Amino acid sequence: MSEFITEDKRTHYCGNIRAGHAGEDVVLMGWVHRRRDLGGLIFIDLRDREGIVQIVLDPEKKPQAHALAHDIRSEFVLAIKGRVNLRPADMINPSLKTGEVEVVIDELEILNESDTPPFVLDGETDVSENLLLKYRYLDLRRKGIQQNIILRSKVTAETRTYLQREGFIDVETPFLTKSTPEGARDYLVPSRVSPGAFYALPQSPQLFKQLLMVSGFDKYYQIVKCFRDEDMRADRQPEFTQIDMEMSFISESDIINTAEGMMAHIFKACLDRDMRVPFPRLTYREAIDRYGRDNPDTRFSLEIEDLTDIAGRSGFRVFSEVVKNGGMVKALLLTDGKTLSRKDLDALGDFVGQYGAKGLAWVRVNKDGWTGSIEKFFDQGNIKSINEKMGAQPGSLLLFVADTKDVVNDALGALRIHLAEKLELIDRETLAFTWITEFPMFEYSKTEERYMATHHPFTSPVTQDIPLLETNPGKVRARAYDLVLNGSEIGGGSIRIHKSDVQSMVFKTLGLGEDEARTKFGFLLDALKYGTPPHGGIAFGLDRMVMIMAGAESIRDVIAFPKTLKATCLLTDAPSKVSAEQLADLSLKTI
């Protein structure tokens, strides 16, 4: 029976003891981080979420406690009572926040023992992810990851503070909801009482938040789990969290202002960083032209230049043929090209191959012209024009990709990031927000042979483009905007369609027949007929936001209990087989 728990409360966190507490009696609870047994004196580093403090056991002063401490091992849980002592100057440990003091033990109690942990919890050792995920509760004892989870808690708290203050109302929406076409694959949940019918877990609360606008809540928000059954990446999980919001009687600028205010508040409150607002804006077109993608990392320049005109006139067949067939030629310039060897360039060729590029052409610029295998195909005039357009100087390296528009942008967009990382062009302290605006409403999918919504099917087209819905959908612009931070899309939203007829036209453009639209989205089309206010909103990916704020490399580092790339949980072993009885209850059979 624990005397400390019943009679004494913990007085401090281990990590918070400071020189100012000297002379005080304290009660601490925590885990044994390390034990140093000198034969006589025993030192224990006691750890809790706030940090580590050194405990001293002297055999002459407290023989019983000292004897007990002899059997203590790593990760035992202790309660201790003792006095805070200032350490003599030569015994101060500057690497600990508590390094100026130590706690001299009066009483010691082992609250629980621990098996030897499967890995050392010091945060230094590299341990395989496999093991960390299996023993996640131990991994979460480590300082780095614990700090990430605590940061995440601050971010959600400050989000709520800001949005509540701005008059937003937190409304919960269903997790068991209706499967809808478009978008990602749904996670399905079978219904017991409706045999053969399924709920879907929401990919986002999109339609419910729009309905809340119809209901007149005016400003809604929610910090909410979303579910998408697609393949993982370093920054994707099957269940992830959105900061979701929606407002009525507003236009783009209202959403953007609110979002900027929220970001500035969160970054100030959680990281003490002052974010200058408004954030820079780029149109989708500009982003693709200059950075090759709609989530540009603007922490460094290294912009992509379009050389289609000049390259089309060159004697280099690879370029001129591509241009003749409607493709394009674009290039990147590295000022200090000498750092890349021939072998590096071959590797970069392989790299762009992943994006469908058939090769990476390159030349080195020197005082007299170019050197490189493709130099002979260019006359002095073309070389001069390209050098000028690129801003090339002696020592520069030019990297070209010639292909269809999409391949060129994909390949160079990715190469730009790859080179910036390889050549360390990125300042890790910078936080570069960028809005991307004027997205196309639709993209044509070759695999599906139809137009797909770039954003989602409830996004409002730009008003003057509405007539184009029937004549030229590819030209319709959407009233959509994404927020990009350091090359990561952390948020996206739009002004929604609030007229039933426009919504029907968009469904039609997407190839959704009237009957099908009725079956899948009838409730929305009905709602739009009952006085729907103009409205719009945005949703932020909380996990990605926190990931960047924490400087984490994987989304798993900011989620307490994440899943693997195969969407399994190594801790609980989910998903798992269920009994025949459970299946029978649900009228299900496995095949």
Partner RNA sequence: GGGGUCGUAGUUAAGUCGGUUAUAACGCCGGCCUGUCACGCCGGAGGCCGUGGGUUCGAGUCCCAUCGACCCCGCCA
Site for RNA in 90-129 (CB under 7 A): 91-93, 95-96, 99, 102, 116, 118-120, 124-129
- Please report, for residues 50, 311, 332, 390, 394, the alpha-carbon distance to residue 416 in angstroms, rounded to integers and kept in the order given: 41, 20, 8, 15, 21
Interacting positions 456-475 with RNA (CB under 7 A): 456-457
Among 14, 27, 155, 453, indicate the residue that binds RNA (CB under 7 A): 453
In angstroms, give the least distance from the CB of 491 to RNA. Answer: 12
Phi, psi values for residue 77, rounded to 5°: -100, 125
- List the x/- string, 311-350, binding to RNA by CB under 7 A: ----------------------------------------
- Is-contact 478 456, C-beta < 8 A? no
Q: Is 566 in the site for RNA (CB under 7 A)?
A: yes
Q: Does 383 bind RNA (CB under 7 A)?
A: no
Task: Please identify, using beta-carbon distances, which residue of 6 and 447 lies nearer to RNA.
Answer: 447
Is residue 419 within 8 Å of residue 332, measured between CB atoms?
A: yes
**Which residue in the set 7, 60, 515, 581 belongs to the binding site for RNA (CB under 7 A)?**
60
With CB under 7 A as the contact rule, the residue among 150, 157, 176, 184 that binds RNA is 184
For the segment 239-298, give every residue that binds RNA (CB under 7 A): none
Q: Minimum CB separation from RNA for residue 137, in Å?
A: 16
d(CA 395, CA 397): 7
Draw the binding track, 210-229, toward RNA (x: CB under 7 A; -: no contact): ------------------x-
Can you tell me the distance from the alpha carbon of 509 to that of 474, in angstroms, rounded to the nearest whole number? 10
Closest CB to RNA among residues 364, 496: 496
Contacts of 119 (CB under 8 A, 6+ apart): 125, 127, 131, 132, 135, 138
CB atoms within 10 A of CB 560: 14
| Least Å from the CB of residue 352 to RNA | 11
Rounded to whole angstroms, how far apart are CA atoms 171 and 161?
15
387 in contact with RNA (CB under 7 A): no
Q: Please, what sign has the CA dihedral across residues 332, 334, 339, 342?
A: positive
What is the smallest separation between the CB atom of 127 and RNA, expressed in angstroms?
4
The rounded distance, in Å, linking the Cα atoms of 22 and 85 is 5
Footprint of RNA on 395-424 (CB under 7 A): 410, 414
- Measure the CA angle with vertex 253, ends 480 and 163; round to 5°: 95
Find how far residue 35's CA is from the centre of its chain.
38
Taking the complex as a whole, the smallest distance from the CB of residue 205 to RNA amounts, in Å, to 8
The distance of closest approach from Cβ of residue 346 to RNA in the complex, given in angstroms and rounded to an integer, is: 15
Residue 571 to residue 88: CA distance in whole angstroms:
45
Output 349 or 369, the one with its CB closest to RNA: 349
For RNA, which stretch binds (CB under 7 A), given 390-398, 445-453, 512-520, 580-588? 445-453
Q: How far is the CB of 570 from RNA (least distance, A)?
A: 6
Which listed residue (173, 206, 314, 387) binds RNA by CB under 7 A? 206
Rounded CA separation 461/91 (Å)? 69
Q: Residue 34 or residue 384: which is nearer to RNA going by CB?
A: 34
CB of 232 to RNA, least distance (A): 6
- Sheet holding 219-227: strands in order across? 169-170, 219-227, 239-248, 535-541, 488-495, 480-485, 433-437, 281-283
Is position 73 an interface residue for RNA (rule: CB under 7 A)? yes
d(CA 352, CA 359): 7
CA distances for 167 relative to 208, 221, 495, angstroms: 19, 10, 19
Closer CB to RNA, 1 or 38, in the complex = 38
Of residues 120 through 179, those in contact with RNA by CB under 7 A are 120, 124-131, 133
We find the least distance from the C-beta atom of residue 562 to RNA, in angstroms, to be: 8
Closest approach, Cβ 231 to RNA, in A, equals 3
Which one, 8 or 182, has the nearer CB to RNA? 182
Task: Tell whether residue 74 is a contact of RNA (CB under 7 A).
Answer: yes
- Tell me how many residues contact RNA (CB under 7 A): 71
CA angle 53, 54, 60 (to 5 degrees): 145
Nearer to RNA, 205 or 312 (CB): 205
For the CB of residue 423, give the shortest distance to RNA in the complex, in Å. 18
Output the six-digit token pair for 546. Answer: 């926190």
Report the residue number, 5 or 171, with the smaller CB distance to RNA: 171
Give CA torsion, residues 65, 69, 72, 75, to 10 deg: 70
Cα separation of the two ends of the chain: 54
Positions 500 through 559 that interact with RNA (CB under 7 A): 554, 556
Binding positions for RNA, 18-57, rule CB under 7 A: 34, 36-41, 43, 45, 54, 56
User: What residue has token string 């230094």?
Assistant: 124
The residue among 283 and 564 lying less far from RNA, judged by its C-beta, is: 564
Interatomic CA distance for residues 340 and 343, integer angstroms: 8
Task: Give the single-character DSSP code of 557.
Answer: G
Pick between residue 154 and residue 508 the one whose CB is nearest to RNA.
Answer: 508
- Among 210, 258, 434, 454, the residue binding RNA under the rule CB under 7 A is 454
